């Protein structure tokens, strides 16, 4: 077996309208080509967001547990601005700043308890205090 890439990351959500508001209006993601109710599954939706060369999908075809599971790290241009915006929106923040030798990141959850990492690689525009 030779795995060449991850095709997509899928997150379960319980309320499509609420999830869309979070991922599109708060995080600023734009739905891709696959954004609709699943044929033959009334009330079940699959929505994909293309982020660079990775696709993040949200769907209510399976239930979120809020007890852990998958996590995605979203690279941001400005770490401080991103965390400030999330705090202002009363997003659940598990850790607002963790630094490593190569990055800084914050740990948050979406409205269903799915883990998301807000991430900034260090470099010319390193995360600032």
Q: What is the CATH number of the domain that holds 74?
A: 3.10.180.10
Q: Is the dihedral of CA 80, 86, 87, 92 positive or negative?
A: negative
Contact 115, 71 (CB under 8 A): yes
**Stretches in the chain below the pLDDT threshold 50:** none
Give the per-residue pLDDT at 102: 86
Give the per-residue pLDDT at 8: 86
Residue-range definition of the domain harbouring residue 23: 9-121
Contact 82, 50 (CB under 8 A): no
Give the per-residue pLDDT at 78: 92
DSSP letter (8 states) at residue 10 = E
Give the per-residue pLDDT at 124: 57
Q: Model-level pTM? A: 0.79
**Is 50 within a domain?**
yes
Give the per-residue pLDDT at 104: 92
**Is 129 within a domain?**
no
Give the per-residue pLDDT at 122: 87
Kindly tell me the burial class for residue 129, based on how many C-beta atoms sit within 10 Å of its own C-beta (0-12, 13-18, 19 or more): exposed
């Amino acid at each position: 077996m030779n795995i060449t890439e991850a095709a997509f990351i899928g997150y379960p959500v319980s309320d499509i309208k609420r999830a869309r508001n979070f991922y599109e209006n708060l995080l600023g993601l734009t739905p891709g080509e696959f954004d609709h109710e699943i044929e033959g599954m009334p009330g079940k939706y699959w929505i994909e967001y293309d982020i660079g060369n990775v696709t993040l999908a949200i769907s209510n075809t399976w239930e979120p547990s809020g007890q852990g599971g998958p996590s995605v790290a979203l690279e941001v241009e400005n770490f401080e601005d991103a965390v400030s915006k999330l705090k202002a929106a009363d997003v659940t923040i598990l850790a607002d700043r963790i630094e490593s030798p190569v990055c800084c990141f914050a740990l948050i959850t979406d409205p269903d308890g799915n883990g998301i990492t807000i991430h900034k690689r260090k470099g010319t525009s390193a995360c600032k205090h």
